């Protein structure tokens, strides 16, 4: 790989992503791969902490692979692979488990939240997946990790485990830093604008998925919750309009202030349609390209195969070093 800093990012293939996922992560990847060694993973093992329909999960893995590519990931310039295709991830996770403390994992906010949501399946993977996430990151001597606010705790654990291992066994891992994009728009639900937009929302009108066609996108924005008066201004007292202004400015690369001026004196109806059209103009070419790629599963399989082979070469250099440091005897080949 080129002499650039390594950047690692992983997304779970647990459903169709929303425009929130696009604005927070996917749209930045095309540019980031020019400035960094981009290592992009489908975190398929992480999805298993919650019960999955096997056929749906396989479909989602291909969907996310195609979406990565449609959003501009260059499979030759960057490494794109499925986490489960590189066994070093789970192997390093075991070693890191031996220096991680139960209290650290039980304090994780996401563990507490998911335990409440999935009371019928509070499994060890649900508690332990931050250690696997740390292994994902540390295997590639990662220096930068794009994160959202909900992942800060997990990145901090990865940093702590890297430092702890280095202190115990000598310099082994680079200690990763968080990368937060300059324009990380926080996209809220169209139905309840005080909550974050989520692909798992039971109300299909509450989110815009990367699979929605232009008519669906505009229809959902027409139904978006707004506020009592008719002023199109961003304000804590106007969460609905503020959310729509945030989305519009993110998709048009305009400031909130410019958007407010553009729609001054106009009604909510016209504004909602304009937001929908701005989003559809960006999302539709991506959706069409993703569908084109999905029609060629052999190509997607080849991308994942080549990506896994490239990822393995880096990952096993790190893992072999770890095994030597902890005292394991290297297997003789041939």
Place of tokens 């106007």: 238
Query: Measuring CA to CA, which residue among 5, 10, 307, 34 is closest to residue 137?
Result: 10
Distance between CA 84 and CA 42 in Å, rounded? 9
**Cross-sheet strand order for the sheet of 6-11:** 79-82, 37-42, 6-11, 144-146, 177-179
Which DSSP category does 99 fall into?
T
Which among 5, 116, 174, 199 is annotated as catalytic? Answer: 199
Q: Establish whether 332 is a catalytic residue.
A: no
Which among 4, 77, 112, 114 is annotated as catalytic? Answer: 114
Query: Measuring CA to CA, which residue among 239, 245, 238 is closest to residue 262?
Result: 245
Question: 262 and 249 in contact (C-beta within 8 Å)?
Answer: no
DSSP bridge pairs for 6: 37
CA torsion angle for 240, 241, 245, 248 (degrees, to 10)? 70
Distance between CA 249 and CA 247 in Å, rounded? 6
Question: 193 and 225 in contact (C-beta within 8 Å)?
Answer: yes
Which DSSP category does 208 fall into?
-
> At 174, is the secondary structure helix, strand, or coil?
coil
Query: Token pair for residue 241?
Result: 């309009």
Q: Establish whether 114 is a catalytic residue.
A: yes
Which among 77, 117, 182, 196 is annotated as catalytic? Answer: 196
Query: Token pair for residue 181?
Result: 């994009």
Q: Establish whether 196 is a catalytic residue.
A: yes
Catalytic positions, written as ranges: 114, 196, 199
């Amino acid at each position: 790989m080129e002499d650039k800093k390594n950047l690692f990012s992983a997304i779970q293939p647990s459903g169709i992503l929303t425009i929130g996922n696009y604005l927070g992560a996917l749209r930045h990847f095309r540019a980031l791969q020019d400035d960094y060694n981009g290592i992009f993973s489908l975190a398929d093992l992480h999805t298993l902490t919650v019960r999955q329909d096997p056929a749906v999960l396989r479909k989602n893995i291909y969907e996310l692979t195609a979406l990565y590519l449609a959003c501009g990931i260059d499979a030759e310039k960057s490494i794109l692979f499925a986490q489960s295709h590189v066994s070093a991830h789970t192997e390093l996770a075991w070693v890191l488990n031996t220096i991680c403390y139960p209290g650290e994992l039980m304090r994780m906010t996401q563990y507490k939240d998911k335990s409440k949501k999935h009371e019928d399946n509070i499994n060890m993977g649900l508690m332990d997946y931050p250690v696997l996430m740390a292994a994902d990151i540390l295997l590639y001597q990662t220096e930068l990790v794009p994160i959202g606010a909900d992942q800060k705790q997990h990145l901090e654990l990865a940093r702590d485990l890297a430092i702890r291992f280095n202190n115990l066994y000598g310099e082994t891992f680079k200690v990763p830093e968080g990368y937060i994009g300059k324009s990380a728009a926080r996209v809220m639900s169209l139905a309840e604008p005080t909550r974050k937009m989520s692909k798992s929302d039971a109300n299909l009108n509450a989110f815009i998925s990367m699979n929605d066609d232009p008519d669906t996108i505009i229809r959902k924005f027409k139904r978006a919750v707004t506020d009592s008066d008719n002023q199109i201004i961003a304000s804590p007292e106007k969460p609905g309009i503020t959310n729509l202004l945030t989305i519009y400015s993110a998709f048009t690369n305009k400031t909130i202030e410019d958007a407010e001026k553009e729609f001054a004196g106009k009604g909510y109806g016209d504004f909602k349609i304009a937001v929908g059209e701005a989003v559809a103009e960006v999302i539709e070419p991506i959706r069409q390209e993703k569908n084109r790629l999905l029609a060629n599963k052999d190509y997607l399989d080849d991308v994942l195969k080549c990506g896994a082979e490239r990822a393995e070469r880096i990952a096993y250099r790190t893992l072999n070093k770890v095994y030597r440091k902890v005292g394991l005897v290297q297997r003789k080949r041939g």
